[in-house]
Structure 1
Amino acid sequence: MSIEIIDTRDGFQQIIKDFSATLYPQHPFPNLQCNETIDENFDKGFVLYINNKPAAMACVINNANFRFENEKTACIAFYECIENSEASHTLLHTICNYCKKQGYKHLVGPINGSTWNSYRFATETITDSFLSELFHKDYYVNQFEQFGFKTTAEYVTQIDTKLTIPKVSNDVNEDISFRTLDVENYEAEIKKIFAFCTEVFQNNFLYTAIDEATFLKKYKALKDLINPEFVLIAEHNGETVGLILALHDFYCKHEKRLIIKTLARKSSLYYVGVAQELSAKVVKTALLNNYQCILHAFMHQNNASKNVSRKFSGEPFRTYKLFQKEL
């Protein structure tokens, strides 16, 4: 075995694209991480070779604002590996040694630079991949755990197959209005959503800020996938106070499925009931459009939106883990 250190982001991007073509030769969808642009805070890439052929790889991303337990922390990102425990252990050991020498106290992953990018591993085999879910090998969790990574957060995607609309006990204040996304003014709308998300997500676990230009770039890529009927905005005095963003699951061929990607409201008690009302409106629209189920994607186990999903018949669909290792 040998390890090559890659100094350039473009160089590592090409290597992981080539490796993924051999690692996932039959995968039909583009939700492989090789298709995600590597974060600009790329530090080093590490490629392990067996008999001169790539067998495992990952990179370190140095997000200066990323902290775990308020200490200097590196992100381990774009991890791919064959099913070989020695290869995995050697790669992870090399990366840990490098990060320790650079003064990092923790290594967190998989996280491709920040929580605005792809992160976490599914804990079971991904047999029914959905849009926005990263596809990867089912043994990655075991490789991280066997090396000594500890679970630092758990997430769940829940599925609502009943599409029933329960009675919501909290009445929304009458001066809060609801509307769909104005696609004719898409960029202006996304700028409002950026300001809202920056405020409501800033206390989320491992949150780091991104600039407006980066956010706009991400959402411009989603424009052709968005149906404005499924992007609902709650407003109070002209200000965004709640948001639900759902996408049609273009990967699902056996049923018509919707994915709730974002559900949030401002924390003030004045807006109690807004999230439930947004969810109810999306369920009603889904029924009118003959959807058969809804996925509530990637909810932190402690997230309030998980409770909303339970109210709307949400049952576990898939679980995920995020790991950390003290250096």
Structure 2
Amino acid sequence: MRKIISVASKKELGAFIDFPHDLYNDDPNYVPELFIAQRDLLTKHPFHKHNKLQAFLVYDNDKVVGRIAAILNNAHNEYNKANDGFFGFFDCVNDKEVAALLFKAAADWLKDKGITGKFIGPTNFSTNEACGLLIRGFDTPPMLMYTYNAPYYQNLIEGLGFDKQIDLISWHWDGQAYDDKSVRLLDSLQERLKRSNVVIRKVDLKNFKDETIKLREVYNHAWDKNTGFVPLTDEEFDYLAKDLKLILDPDFCLIAEQEGKIVGFGIALPNYNEIFKTIKRGRLLPTGIFKLLFNKKKITGIRIYALGVIEGYRKMGIEACLYGTIIKEYKRKGYLHAEAGWTLENNDMINKAIEAIKGDPQKTYRLYEKQI
């Protein structure tokens, strides 16, 4: 007998977070999310101060067979002058009936909140966090801060009447299989930028709080034209920055600055998913914490997580300098592979730039929509 419940108790929240571990128990490419991070994301993140989320579980007798979260993103609707609702944290056995139960519950909850526009997802909570359904590139584990799902999810979602909104591309390089032109030209590019009083420097971790204030302004302007973009509040950006500080390598956290004004930045992160993959059910205790602490030097890949320049400073060579510096450090530190992204499929300028340095569009993630 199947039934759907609204997640309300601590025990139900635990079951919601743990369900993917059981669903993907035999999948060699699955990477468990850290339990404490998912719990805090679902309960303590500043997002919840001005938005709403309701999680649902479907049980088949006493076994969880599906989960979803209905997300009311007031900030998105205000910024984009819309009345849309979102779904996220969707995981499901390969069963159309279970998927239908989940999406009906999420849609009904959103309708009760007054949503009359589109039903969009998956986003966990918005495009500022992990988002998109993996539709191509199932042969390797996901990099840090990407979503993951089985191939059959696409049929379940499209079978419920959802259409493609936009695709997100993740670009890959193996070993030294990249065009190092930006590295070879790095000195001359930087000299050219200096004539405009623009310098590329590493983030100052000793003054990270002050750096964060400036970076937040750049973030909210450099990505403001992207589909589905929602500006981060001060608290949301601080929450993100605090998490990133725990795992960032300052050699890969670069700032473009003109006379004290930050005009762009690039961040690449060591692929901690290589460690998370070994942490059973995402529990740091009792042994997971030691894997996290002692295996950092064994990480073989990086993810170029964010690289953006504000309008008025683009096409000056700043982007090439940021990429060139990251590639130079990647080579110096002996990493074996890298990913960049995601990028929107219609962002021709950045996609052509990545293609020019021989990026391989290895994975594709899709955002879906339908009228609610």
**Normalised by the size of structure 1, how large is the TM-score?**
0.89
Aligned to 2:263: 241
Deviations 1:123-174 (Å, cap 9, x if unpaired)?
A: 1325332222223333222211111111101011111232332267985462
Is residue 116 from structure 1 mapped to residue 128 from structure 2 by the alignment? yes
1:257 and 1:102 map into 2 onto residues whose CA distance is 43
Aligned to 1:65: 75
Aligned to 1:82: 93
Give the SS at the match of 1:66: helix
Aligned to 1:295: 339
Is residue 24 from structure 1 mapped to residue 32 from structure 2 by the alignment? no
Equivalent residue for 2:152, pick from 139, 162, 168: 139
RMSD over aligned CA atoms reads 2.7
Letter in 2 for 1:76: F
Aligned to 2:324: 280
Preserved contact between residue 177 and residue 235 of structure 1 (Cα < 8 Å): yes
Identical counterparts, % of pairs: 21
Q: Per-residue deviation at 1:26?
A: 5.5
Letter in 2 for 1:308: A
Equivalent residue for 1:310, pick from 326, 334, 355: 355
Aligned to 2:4: 3
Letter in 1 for 2:33: N
Letter in 1 for 2:57: V
Preserved contact between residue 66 and residue 74 of structure 1 (Cα < 8 Å): no
Aligned to 2:284: none
Give the SS at the match of 1:221: helix
Taking a change above 3 Å as real, the CA distance of residues 10 and 165 of structure 1, as seen in their structure-2 partners, is: same
2:80 and 2:215 map into 1 onto residues whose CA distance is 29
Letter in 2 for 1:163: Y
Q: Point out the structure with the larger strand share.
A: 1
Preserved contact between residue 109 and residue 119 of structure 1 (Cα < 8 Å): yes
1:129 and 1:90 map into 2 onto residues whose CA distance is 28
- The number of aligned residues is 326
Which moves more between the two structures, 160-169 or 137-146?
160-169
Equivalent residue for 2:240, pick from 215, 218, 224: 218
1:200 and 1:242 map into 2 onto residues whose CA distance is 8
Letter in 2 for 1:186: F
Taking a change above 3 Å as real, the CA distance of residues 147 and 275 of structure 1, as seen in their structure-2 partners, is: same
Preserved contact between residue 249 and residue 259 of structure 1 (Cα < 8 Å): yes
Letter in 2 for 1:60: A
Structure 1: gaps of 5 or more residues: none
Q: Per-residue deviation at 1:12?
A: 5.5
Which moves more between the two structures, 317-326 or 76-85?
76-85
1:271 and 1:9 map into 2 onto residues whose CA distance is 52
Structure 2: gaps of 5 or more residues: 276-297
Preserved contact between residue 143 and residue 339 of structure 2 (Cα < 8 Å): no
2:364 and 2:344 map into 1 onto residues whose CA distance is 10
Q: Per-residue deviation at 1:66?
A: 1.9
Preserved contact between residue 58 and residue 79 of structure 1 (Cα < 8 Å): yes
1:176 and 1:278 map into 2 onto residues whose CA distance is 12
Deviations 1:46-87 (Å, cap 9, x if unpaired)?
A: 222222432112121111122397431111121111111221
Which moves more between the two structures, 18-27 or 124-133?
18-27
1:190 and 1:69 map into 2 onto residues whose CA distance is 25
Which moves more between the two structures, 73-82 or 47-56?
47-56
1:182 and 1:9 map into 2 onto residues whose CA distance is 42
Aligned to 1:91: 102
Taking a change above 3 Å as real, the CA distance of residues 264 and 94 of structure 1, as seen in their structure-2 partners, is: same
Q: Per-residue deviation at 1:30?
A: 3.6
The equivalences for 1:255-266 within 5 A come to 256-266=300-310
1:151 and 1:230 map into 2 onto residues whose CA distance is 34
Which moves more between the two structures, 88-97 or 195-204?
88-97
Preserved contact between residue 164 and residue 368 of structure 2 (Cα < 8 Å): yes
Preserved contact between residue 264 and residue 309 of structure 2 (Cα < 8 Å): yes
Deviations 1:86-109 (Å, cap 9, x if unpaired)?
A: 211222133324433443221111
2:120 and 2:13 map into 1 onto residues whose CA distance is 20
Which moves more between the two structures, 221-230 or 127-136?
127-136
2:35 and 2:139 map into 1 onto residues whose CA distance is 15
Which moves more between the two structures, 182-191 or 170-179?
170-179
Give the SS at the match of 2:346: coil
Deviations 1:283-324 (Å, cap 9, x if unpaired)?
A: 112111122332112111122332221121111111110011
1:9 and 1:72 map into 2 onto residues whose CA distance is 29
Preserved contact between residue 131 and residue 146 of structure 2 (Cα < 8 Å): no
Q: Point out the structure with the larger helix share.
A: 2
1:72 and 1:272 map into 2 onto residues whose CA distance is 38
